[in-house]
Amino acid sequence: MTDPHAQGATILADPLRNKGTAFSPHERADLGLDGLLPPAVETLDEQVSRAYEAFHDYGKALNRHIYLRQLQDTNEVLFYRLVTDHLEELLPVIYTPTVGEACRRFSSIYRRPRGLYLSWGDRHRFREILRNRPHGDEGVDVIVVTDGQRILGLGDQGVGGMGIPIGKLSLYTAIGGIDPARTLPILLDVGTDNEELLADPRYLGRREHRLTGAEYDEMIEAFVSAVEAELPGTLLQWEDFATPHARPILTRYRDRLLTFNDDIQGTAAVALGALSTAAAVAGTPLPEQRLVVLGAGSAAIGVADMIRTAVIEEGLSAAEAAGRFWVVDIDGLLTRSRTDLTDEQRVYAREDTEATGWNGTSLAEVVRRVAPTALIGLSTAHGAFSEEIVRQMASACERPIIFPLSNPTSHAEADPADLARWTDGRALIATGSPFPPLLVDEQEVPVAQANNVYVFPAIGLAVTASRATRVTDRMLVAAARAVARCAARAQDAGEGPARLLPPLAGMREAARDIALAAALAAVEDGVAPKATEEELREAIAATRWTPHYSTAPVAS
């Protein structure tokens, strides 16, 4: 006979079944919870109010982050209801920029396990270890995996990178409505080259330098093979892999399983969505934009690729589309004569003759010579968009589009307040990290944050609802255009000055439309079963998990 008291303690320890003080008297008696909880019976709304007050009792952002993670580990319904009720306020605490500090201090603030850690020595047992996942009797809709090498703009954080998959999957649920029981964060511990971490006695990861070469590739292949065998059909999102690995991994596996890289493709889709809105506001169609991109890493090239795909769809040839870009890295403009370019970078290399007579090929000179309509930064070079460069751009462009997209805030290419001042309020701005609102013509204007939350939760919802087997470029372009439409609808609703992106507070609702656009593209691309738009709408509605308590007795 089952001991009801043991059952009750087990339920309280399970964040997906625990309702805390919301258990009714009948449930408490039936489940062996009598005496284990304070006498008061609260509604979920009352619990949210109390949790929100507790959140504000913490002054530092990192302490608030820790509180929210502890709440998630105690009662997931309450956590997600709190987050969805206060999404815009809590998003910077759950994710960027606070998650960067949480990753940096992961070993010292570690409280309770979440997700799976896969190490080199266990590579032949990965499938077995995948079966150890929490809620192993459930399938998995979304995995987010990182090796911790390129965490935001902070670099190698080793095992501390686990904070990123945990945070991302929280947003898959809060915004996309993916059932939290069907998500799985994974850290591939391939070591770390961060000497500070290796010397830290509290570091919780593998105390060896990073795997490289064939061993690294073997580790990745072992992981992918285990996922294919154990969790076929699961969306696998690659997160914060360094440039030398990110693109090759995506190229190697994107046609083999349901997968995408959020840093390359998600960032690109959000940037395209914001750029599409800005181009409409500026009155210069997307195919007519002259784009200078600072940075040539995987994220920057991913943004260029996504925009190029969109303008090709709008009628330009591949060569014409590539010709709309001038890409600048630490060594200057990408040109044909350079021998240090990857195949992906070489697509955007300019003829050397174009720079004849120039005073070098720095960003300042490129801006002076090209007179761009859009300036996009993914360089992590703080302050790279200087006053001189921005004023030069604004002198030749009525509505300059300027996107300092590097994360975290300390690595942004410019502060939006400076950009507004240097352009007399004419700049159309989107950033990678959150910034305070601007005061333009005595009106408070929110700074559009080109946060990947506009796309990746909707992609997860789209592939889960449509039963897609691949993530295609057209699905991501469709999602980007849906983001722009959602922003336009918010503008039509009279929500103040021009918005380049939808209001974050309404992202859970917008995610439905963005997911629908991506799902329709999946059907059109033949990577999802045939379905009508209405059938996809119904599938999306049926797929979405919402944070509420069941009124039925909790199963043991």
Cα–Cα dist 159/105, whole Å? 10
Is the separation of the CB atoms in 336 and 354 below 8 Å? no
Strand order in the sheet with 116-119: 116-119, 183-189, 142-146, 235-238, 259-261
Among 58, 60, 117, 168, the one annotated catalytic = 168
Cα–Cα dist 28/33, whole Å? 4
Is 60 among the catalytic positions? no
First to last CA, the chain: 13
Q: Does the annotation list 210 as a binding residue? A: no
Q: Does the annotation list 150 as a binding residue? A: yes
Tell me the residue type at 221. Answer: E
Query: Which of 268, 385, 370 has the alpha carbon at shortest distance from 326?
Result: 370
Among 19, 52, 80, 95, the one annotated catalytic = 95
Residue 10 burial (10 A CB sphere; 0-12, 13-18, 19+): middle
Is the separation of the CB atoms in 264 and 299 below 8 Å? yes
Q: Does the annotation list 239 as a binding residue? A: yes
Q: Does the annotation list 122 as a binding residue? A: no
Q: Does the annotation list 451 as a binding residue? A: yes
The CB density around residue 346, as the number of other CB atoms within 10 Å, is 12
Q: Does the annotation list 18 as a binding residue? A: no
Query: Which of 68, 89, 88 has the alpha carbon at shortest distance from 79?
Result: 68
Cα–Cα dist 481/486, whole Å? 9
> Within 211-297, where are the H helices?
213-230, 243-253, 267-282
For 276, what's the count of Cα atoms within 13 Å in the CB-facing half-sphere?
A: 28
Query: Which of 92, 159, 171, 184 has the alpha carbon at shortest distance from 459?
Result: 171
Is 19 among the catalytic positions? no
Residues that constitute the known binding site for (S)-malate? 150, 407, 451
Residues that constitute the known binding site for a divalent metal cation? 239-240, 263
Residues that constitute the known binding site? 150, 239-240, 263, 407, 451
- Catalytic sites, residue numbers: 95, 168
